[in-house]
Structure 1
Amino acid sequence: MASSLLKMVLSVATTLTLALMGGGPATAAPPRPSDSPGIDVSWPQCGQTLPEGLAFAIVGVNNGLANTTNPCLQEQLDWAESTIRYPQATSQPRVALYVNTANPGLAGSWWPSSDVYMGTSVDNPYGDCEGKNDAACAYMYGYAKAYDDAVLRGVEDPETYFWWLDVETENSWQPDTAANRADLEGMTAYFESIGADVGIYSTGYQWGRIAGTVPSTSNLAGLPSWLAGARTVRGAKSNCSLPGLTPGSRVALTQYVSGGLDYNVACK
């Protein structure tokens, strides 16, 4: 009896000590495997029940086109913020954003005619935009779409997010790869002007068709790459060893599809 009582006292004392130290089984967070995948979601997943136990999430801001808003943006951001609780699991931000990109030229529903947007006079490295289908106006178009994404889509504190530029051939592009690069440079310039980090999502083939060869002087050079195209997690891990999309770029993420959802591997 005395021995049992002593054990009980010691047990209670240990529990109290752990509680005071903030430790103990009841308060410790379960470990998160370092190779847990991330996921990217957007308008196609509106209304779907999304999985849990993920390392990070990337939420699409647009509704498939560069000048639209994902109708589930706030809902999906709320899901990501409440579900992804393990930012230490990978090198990736816990929650990031991606945006659709395009260079529609004069066929677009809106095209810039000057270097001023929303009251801001933009320093345009391609010269004066005068409403033509050229690199100068493409730069302004990209700058404007990035502004809209950060300011008009309902994203709070946009400067705190990592922004991925989704560059795919299914969107509208010009035959002039230099003008397309200017468009993406304009987007990058705006996001960087608010203090946000930027990366590029594409495949080597699509990037080559759209943007061509990126000079080392471009602000696209050295941006992290997120590579699509893998069908399995093994393939995605293998793609981490591929070259980045621009000079000096490293592959930070690779994507694979499973169960109709896009999952992502964080490269070391």
Structure 2
Amino acid sequence: MPRRFGVSVPAMRRTVQSMVVAGLALAGVFLAGPTAADAAPAAPSTGGYDVSHPQCGTTLPSTRAFAIVGVNGGTAATTNPCLAPQLRWAAASSGAVPTQPKVQLYVNTANPGQVIDQVTTWPTTGQNRYGTCDGSNSAACSYQYGKERAANDVRILDPAARSAGVSVAAGAYTWWLDVETGNTWQTGSSAALARNRATLEGMAESLTAAGGRVGIYSTSTQWRQIVGTVPSASSLSPLPSWLAGATTLNGARTNCAKAPLTRGPVVLAQYVAGGLDRNRSCS
């Protein structure tokens, strides 16, 4: 701030001051105070990003309001090797969007019940709303599979969160179930879709029981192909949607106004720009 002089200054000192001011002006130094750019820093970004194992070793964006980090390494039974540094990066988000927590998580989902002989993670025991799991390709074992995958995701989070210096509590996060046709799903009948749905219910209910908030990431086409119609009594019914598929910000804005995957609100829309997955908050 410019200094104010309230007393008389001798003529010689006034002359010296005038010479100094003139010299500084010629040197390009301005005494009129901070520029507009200094006084008004740029508004924080209101956009978010989602990252996971494909971004290992890359430089992540320096500004973002929130970030969604993948827990897995591309399939439901794997681990993102860069989870800890990516959680640390996400925690430095600005939080400029009040409705979006700075750090959120997403997990891969699947139901390999039709290829049990090819996997080692299919359950053989467990009691749940669908009955008793006996190791067969049933709704009960599908639910149990989802429940166990979610519990494993929580276990994966713990050491990475400790390393990153963020909360290890599952209840501190929103957990997005990534539902895509690129993973292994049951097909061929309405019963197969019902078993897929049971797996997602098992995951959602397990994470909710741990205190987490749960939502669904997919496109409407993939969701219908994998899950079919979700009954209103399903625990998936009220979950919020994160819609994928847009390639521009305008496309994401349009998706915010589209129908949700279930009966919950659409709260996020993803789009691709600059080789990265970006996200716009819909609320």
TM-score bracket, normalised by the shorter chain, equals: 0.7 to 0.9
Q: CA deviation at 1:50?
A: 0.6
Whether the aligned pair in 2 keeps the contact of 1:55 and 1:90 (CA below 8 Å) is no
Q: Which residue of 1 aligns with 2:90?
A: 80
Give a deviation string over 1:149-185, Cα, whole Å, max 9, x none: 0123434222201100000000000110000000000
| TM-score in terms of structure 1 length | 0.84
Cα distance in 1, alignment partners of residues 85 and 133 from structure 2: 37
Cα distance in 1, alignment partners of residues 136 and 205 from structure 2: 21
Q: Aligned match of 1:111 in 113, 122, 131?
A: 122
CA gap 1:218/1:5 in 2 versus in 1, 3 angstroms: same
Q: Which residue of 2 aligns with 1:238?
A: 254
Secondary structure at 1:4's aligned position in 2?
coil
Q: Aligned match of 2:80 in 58, 64, 70?
A: 70
Q: Does 1:194 align with 2:210?
A: yes
Q: CA deviation at 1:125?
A: 0.9
Q: Aligned match of 1:147 in 151, 154, 159?
A: 151
Identity, % of aligned pairs? 52
Q: Which residue of 1 aligns with 2:131?
A: 127
Secondary structure at 1:236's aligned position in 2?
helix
| TM-score in terms of structure 2 length | 0.79
Q: CA deviation at 1:266?
A: 0.3
Cα distance in 2, alignment partners of residues 143 and 44 from structure 1: 26
Give a deviation string over 1:199-244, Cα, whole Å, max 9, x none: 0000000000101100000000110100100010000011001111
Aligned partner of 2:211: which letter?
G
Aligned partner of 2:85: which letter?
E
Cα distance in 2, alignment partners of residues 266 and 46 from structure 1: 25
Q: Aligned match of 1:225 in 237, 241, 246?
A: 241
Q: Which residue of 2 aligns with 1:15?
A: none
Whether the aligned pair in 2 keeps the contact of 1:32 and 1:89 (CA below 8 Å) is no
Whether the aligned pair in 1 keeps the contact of 2:143 and 2:195 (CA below 8 Å) is yes
Q: Which residue of 2 aligns with 1:158?
A: 170
Give a deviation string over 1:39-65, Cα, whole Å, max 9, x none: 000000000001122111000000001
Cα distance in 2, alignment partners of residues 243 and 5 from structure 1: 66
Unaligned runs of 5+ in 2: 8-37, 162-167
Q: CA deviation at 1:92?
A: 0.9
Secondary structure at 2:177's aligned position in 1?
strand
Cα distance in 2, alignment partners of residues 219 and 192 from structure 1: 10
Q: Which residue of 2 aligns with 1:118?
A: none
Q: CA deviation at 1:90?
A: 4.2
Give a deviation string over 1:66-94, Cα, whole Å, max 9, x none: 01100000010011112x02x24241111
- Write out aligned runs for 1:175-214 (5 A): 175=187, 176-214=192-230
Secondary structure at 2:62's aligned position in 1?
coil
Q: Which residue of 2 aligns with 1:174?
A: 186
Q: Which residue of 2 aligns with 1:97?
A: 105
Moved more, 200-209 or 105-114: 105-114
Q: Which residue of 2 aligns with 1:39?
A: 49
Unaligned runs of 5+ in 1: 8-25, 116-121
Cα distance in 2, alignment partners of residues 144 and 97 from structure 1: 17
Q: Which residue of 1 aligns with 2:4?
A: 4
Q: How many pairs are equivalent?
A: 237
Q: Which residue of 2 aligns with 1:138?
A: 142
Q: CA deviation at 1:134?
A: 1.0
CA gap 1:193/1:5 in 2 versus in 1, 3 angstroms: same
Q: CA deviation at 1:31?
A: 4.0
